[in-house]
Amino acid sequence: MRGTVLYGTGDVRSEERPVPEITAPTDAIIRVVAACVCGSDLWPYRGMPPVKEPAPMGHEYCGIVEAVGDAVTTIKPGQFVIGSFCISDNTCPNCRYGYQSMCMQGGFMSGAQAELLRVPQADGTLVATPDMPADDLIPHLLTISDVLGTGWFAADAANVRPGSTVVVVGDGAVGLLGVLSAKQMGAARIIAMSRHESRQQLASEFGATDIVSERGDAGVERIKALTDGVGADSVLECVGTNESMQQALRSARRGGYVSYVGVPHGVELQAGQLFSTMVHLHGGPAPVRRYLPDLIDLVWQRKITPGKVFDLVLPLADVAEGYRAMDERRAIKALLRP
């Protein structure tokens, strides 16, 4: 079967790979209907850090169940399923507290940019849709696997409530879907920080009420000016750099909430800054499994259209172009069709 492997910096290939098989009774094998390239895939693609050995790529996926192991009870062959990018049994204490991305039997998915995929802990990781979805729903459903689930967690972790004033730092697909999530949670004002016109437009379409293109001190000043000098209730840090974290911390009001969902790269947190501003800080790999049923329902009812973040659709064989286009910021996010 066709799969995707990262061989080194900038060297990602579509190639023939072994057909995955059930290796544990809790596994499922799914035929991937759609996968995509994640912003986090770009870190190793850019050599930060370089891969040590060829790495099967992809962790966002939806598809049709081909086979399940003997211990799988809730997922059946023939169902259309969406899974989290994190493996979870959904029964351990961490899962029961809603932190399925910290499952004691967990781990991270890989190899989803492929025709077939083995999903461990199928009962706890996958959720089936009510029926076989219409084709136009596929991109929207695919986002739930990670990018929407992560944007949703960012808004939830930043305590977005009806009437909140929200700042979203980062105009990648996660940030844009953070805007959509904040809108769904009833935010009254959503300030998207973006300097790219096409992304600004999508942010507005998803519910942003204000766009701030300035960064650094000037960006903080603009946020303060837009919030009567107080700062925002909730700030979603959707990048993972030190600059974006500083932007986020300095944009929140005293006692406000800052969430962060990008893997931190060079982020330095000052305990004194946190103490003297009293922001709440919460983040990490999104526990997407917690949100899967509700997000599937929102897409199924056609209440949200998160799949609009896909501005490039490629056959799986052309995955390398998807990485290139996202690396060069020619595309927000690339959808792959096996």
Helix 197-206 / helix 173-184 crossing angle, nearest 10 deg? 20
Integer Cα distance of 37 and 194 in angstroms: 21
Instruction: Kindly state whether residue 99 participates in binding a second copy, applying the rule CB under 8 A.
Output: yes
Of these, 272, 301, 303, 328, which contacts a second copy (CB under 8 A)?
272
Does 264 engage in binding with a second copy (CB under 8 A)?
yes
Question: Minimum Å distance from CB 74 to a second copy?
Answer: 24
Q: Is 225 in the site for a second copy (CB under 8 A)?
A: no
Cβ closer to a second copy: 83 or 287?
287
Q: Are 23 and 76 in contact (CB under 8 A)?
A: no
Residue for token pair 């769904």 = 184
Q: How many CB atoms lie within 10 A of CB 202?
A: 23
Q: Site for a second copy (CB under 8 A): which residue of 42, 267, 313, 317?
A: 267
Taking CB under 8 A as the rule, which mask of x and - marks residues 169-208 in contact with a second copy? ----------------------------------------
- Contact segment (CB under 8 A) with a second copy among 141-149, 279-287, 313-321, 322-330 equals 279-287
**Does residue 43 interact with a second copy by CB under 8 A?**
no
In this structure, the chain runs to a length of: 338
Q: What DSSP element (H or E) covers 66?
A: strand 61-68
Q: What is the SS3 assignment for 102?
A: helix
Q: Is residue 78 involved in binding a second copy (CB under 8 A)? A: no
**DSSP code for 34:** E
CA atoms within 13 A on the CB side of 219: 25
Residues that bind a second copy (CB under 8 A): 93-94, 97-99, 101-102, 228, 230, 245, 253-255, 260, 263-264, 267-272, 274-285, 287
